Amino acid sequence: MKENFNIYPNMLKKILFTLFIASMLAIFPSCLSSDCYSDPLSAQELVKCSDDLMRGDTSRGTYKMTVLTPQWERTLELKAYSIGRDKTFIRIISPPKEAGITTLRIDNNMWNYLPKVERTIKVPPSMMLQPWMGSDFTNDDLVKESSIVYDYTHRIVAEEDIDGMPAYKIELTPKPEAAVTWGKLILWVRREDCVPLREEFYTEHGKLVKVLQYSKIKQMSDRVIPTIWKMTSVTREGHYTIIEILDVVYNKPIDENIFTMANLKSPR
């Protein structure tokens, strides 16, 4: 019996220690988060986080594109589908004049289908900087042939506020072997969750060509993203394009038959 009584002091010490630890965790709950132990994300990890947020493993949605110039204005509604970084499919559904015009990208190959002339055009790499449907978004902007994650090197150059939101300012410069369309990109991502806030596009000679501003951040599908994208031309005064996400679903299965040449010409 004596031996059993000798156990109690040790048990009491363990109980008191456990209560002490529990009280400390209650006072300092933030130390339960992984931020207390993990290193900050690198510049490339921040860019990948932002890119993954906007892409998802898959996406399908309806978008409205408004193109404005000093001379004219027009609005397109389109359906878009994507699987990762490899496949993109875009079809204009209104107005009737442009309905049925379709863009397909598979890996590094891109085609446009023009239903009025029943013609499929393969888009060469030299045309990736051309405007898509007369907008301020290029072919590459819309179908993302080049990758901001893997085709560029990344460097955090500052921490700044964009519309009152703390953000990392990241410089992206092309890798020597990468076949990209821009000489440099500057990207601002929200510090708390990698939401993109602003992007600047430069030529290989360092000239700013256009600015993409993201706004109206809200919950869409399974994530929080900007739902208004405004691309403003710096070189053409009064030219800008606004894309608004009307609805979008991420990370749901998509029929692979969507990304085919047969579907490119389909009137569906």
Mean pLDDT for each 10-residue chunk of the chain (268 residues)?
48 49 42 44 96 95 97 97 93 96 92 94 87 91 79 96 96 91 95 97 96 98 97 96 98 96 83
Please give the residue range of the domain that contains residue 97. 43-264
Classify 128 as helix, strand or coil: coil
Question: Does one domain contain both 14 and 129?
Answer: no
Q: Where are the alpha helices (DSSP H) in 56-205?
A: 139-143
What pLDDT is recorded for position 178? 85
Question: Does one domain contain both 55 and 185?
Answer: yes
Question: Does one domain contain both 68 and 176?
Answer: yes
d(C-alpha 87, C-alpha 92), whole Å: 17
d(C-alpha 120, C-alpha 96), whole Å: 19
Question: Does one domain contain both 50 and 113?
Answer: yes
The residues, ordered by sequence, that sit 6+ positions from 207 with a Cβ below 8 Å of its Cβ are none
State how many domains the chain has.
2
- pTM passes above 0.85: no
Question: Does one domain contain both 179 and 215?
Answer: yes
Question: Does one domain contain both 177 and 77?
Answer: yes
Question: Does one domain contain both 113 and 66?
Answer: yes
Classify 173 as helix, strand or coil: strand
Question: Does one domain contain both 169 and 217?
Answer: yes
Per-residue tokens: 241: 């394009």
Question: Does one domain contain both 54 and 29?
Answer: no
What pLDDT is recorded for position 39? 61
Question: Does one domain contain both 110 and 16?
Answer: no
What pLDDT is recorded for position 245? 98
CA distances (Å), origin 19, targets 8, 14, 15, 16, 93: 16, 9, 6, 5, 64
Residues 107-139 as b or e (16 or more Cβ within 10 Å = b): eeebbbbeeeeeeeeebeeeebeebbbebbbbb
Question: Does one domain contain both 101 and 142?
Answer: yes
Question: Does one domain contain both 16 and 115?
Answer: no
